[in-house]
Chain A
Amino acid sequence: MSKSSSPMVIEITVISAENLMITRRQPVKKNAFIVVKSDPFNSQSTGTDPDGGSYPAWNEKLIMELPVHVRFITVEAHSGSKVIGTASIPVSDFAGGHLPENYLSFLSYRLRDGNGDKNGIVNLSVKVKGTGNNGCAASCSQPWMGVPADNKVSGGVVMGIPVPYT
């Protein structure tokens, strides 16, 4: 169906984070940094921000390769040795279908700590640099809807979305 040989290269600019707390009451004092993972073994991290406190800013570009099967990338906020917040970014939010190559997407996500509680927001921008095939890798999930085939005959309308054929 679609050529799935070469991985997608993305350029992530980790811009900033907001309202990071170490514990419920204690805001992050300094040296927060972000780690971006495409899978448990491949990660890249930003430098630390010594002054930003709980509103750190990095504006740092990270280049990552995403293998074709990857559907999410994980963003972790760290303070010292502790992971204080995580967010999962679906690849479909910045790559896929209609978005052209080199389109700069600005995205923001809610970070949640180990207990699932909210812990701030991370702001970043993503640009897909090259995919090897028209931006429509098998990993980009386009929504499709189906009508369940019941015994009842309903005169409803089914919306089908063509799957890209290369």
Chain B
Amino acid sequence: MGNCFSDVKGGQQAIGGSVRAGGGGHGGSAASGPNDAVDYFFRAKGEHALFMPIELSLSASKLRDRDITSKSDPMAVIFTKRRNGKLEEIGRTEVIMNSLDPSWIQKINVTYQFEIVQHLVFQVYDVDTKYHNLPVKMLNLEDQDFLGEASCVVSEIVTKRERSLTLNLHSRGRPGFKHLGTLTVRAEEPVASRNTVEITFRCSALENKDLLSKSDPFLRISRTVETGGSVPICKTEVVNNNLNPIWKPVQLTMQQFVSKENPLVIECFDFNDSGNHQLIGKLQKSVAELETLYQSKSGAKFISPSSGFRRHEKVLKSQIIVEVYVEKQLYSFLDYISSGFELNFMVAVDFTDRCFPAWGFGGRTPDCSVSHCFNLNGSPSEFEVEGVDGMMAAYTSALHNVALAGPTLFGQVINKAADIARGSVSCNYAKYYILLIITDGVVTDLQETMDSVVRASDLPLSILIVGVGNANFKEMEILDADNGRRLESSTGRIATRDIVQFVPMREVHGGEISVVRALLEELPSQFLSYVRSKDIKPLNMS
């Protein structure tokens, strides 16, 4: 019964390894096999769990000496600070004997999420000699001597060029009091996540498993595990009605296939709406063997496993061919921003003291005409305001001088932002623009807005729209294009990528997810889809 309502289209999607032109990649966050399913689960529910795994290595210097006869034996512990202020431990280093300037080897894994603020608290303890034979995990922190504490936010570490941050240690709860030494945190992305391999598979002479039409084949690739079974790491999309299909390229990261010699199981199934897909054939090849297949331009034959009365496996005529095999370095979002890429906000809550452009729309200016893109600071020529205060001052004065008027039109503001983004492209490639629109009304020029968005879809621009109030924002969700329907302009042009993220404030109010987080979630993948398609590398990267 459940099959009647199953999402056939969803079931036919490629999972885990595909390169989507619009949605971008995972940003180097390639999770291992089991996490792909979890990742997909969240994404199917509309929650983008884009996270980047990083490893933190710690070192400290000038620690206080607690022991009498020798130096302290320090160990560091990292906590995250939850919303309610409670600390939750995420890892600890090993104990280094007799040192006031330790460099711990044990790295601690943290996932970096762009869209939330992650508070970390570091504490250094001196471990008493009587505990030295215990595994670090079992040490009770209350029994150890406290040496100092420091805290920071994960983004502070990863946005530094060297990805390294030095903090002063202080006593618990009293920052800046006694100088208890310093702690240096360095963040590194696990190197393996950057190496990827992009393969386009093709099959020939597949067996027909369907009655009235041809098979609808798809491939599932699994990694063999030590215990003998296999863990699926990706599947291609389904090609309907085709015994000689070619699928869209599949991108596998080193974290997924672990090593080029690791044997992968490739199975070809015939898709059935009922979910009961029939196995057409399978074979086992490692990534290195696939590379050889590609170079020798030969195919490998599928094997039909033993079934029914037949006790042996049968070698089939069906073959798998590697059409394209490319090894790539996939730079992650962190690589770009730590190398110096600028993310320019136009109208945003920006806490640095900078000038940024601000416009208003839908207001009736003193000369009685309704403008759909006027400079918020009231100046006819300059559209910049200085810092958050400048923004608030401009908005306040605009409220006095401009009468609120409908209708809600976005087209012009988007065009203006697109012009700025387009202008920067000719000078240097290291700028990306983000336009934040806060609106309480449903857009009334939907077609014009769509036209503007489509025109801007190939530019380094993302548009974040927050809907406040009680209006029915259903139409706005078309702009977000999250359901896969690419926006189409009135001139017949189709959006190159999805650059809009729309969040109605009502939906997130009171929930765990803040508005900012929901808005910013898609940003790294929108940014990456832009730089990867244009083959732009992080600054200073050869």
Contacts and interface: CB of A to CB of B under 8 A. Distances in A.
Given A99-B425, A99-B426, A109 B493 contact: yes
Contacts of B7: none
Contact of A110 (B239, B422, B488, B496): B488
B426 A98 contact: yes
B213 interface: no
Contacts of B497: 106
B201 to A, nearest CB: 11
Contact of B422 (A52, A88, A99): A99
B226 interface: no
A105 interface: yes
Nearest to A50: B244
A108 B486 CA distance: 10
B367 A155 contact: yes
Interface string A74-102: 00000000000001111001000111100
Q: Is the interface of B mostly helix, strand, loop or mixed?
A: loop
Nearest to B374: A157
A98 B493 contact: no
B152 interface: no
A87 B488 CA distance: 13
Interface in B491-506: 491-497
B425 A109 contact: no
Contacts of A57: 246
B21 A105 contact: no
A89 B535 CA distance: 24
A100 B244 CA distance: 42
B246 A112 contact: no
Count class of interface residues, chain A? 20 to 34
B242 interface: yes
A109 B367 contact: no
Interface in B358-378: 367, 369
Contacts of A99: 422, 425-426
Interface string B119-133: 000000000000000
Contacts of A55: 239
Contacts of A106: 458, 496-497, 533
B190 interface: no
B426 A88 contact: no
Contacts of B494: 108-110, 121
Contacts of A51: 202, 242, 244-246
B456 to A, nearest CB: 12
Interface string A97-126: 111100111111110100000000101000
Contact of B425 (A88, A98, A110): A98
Given A108-B486, A110-B488, A121-B494, A98 B246 contact: no
Interface of B: 21, 202, 239, 241-242, 244-246, 367, 369, 380, 419, 422-423, 425-426, 458, 486, 488, 491-497, 533-535
Given A98-B426, A100-B426, A110-B492, 11 more contacts: A51-B202, A51-B245, A51-B246, A53-B241, A104-B533, A104-B534, A105-B458, A106-B496, A107-B458, A108-B494, A155-B367
5 contacts: A98-B426, A99-B425, A104-B534, A106-B533, A121-B494
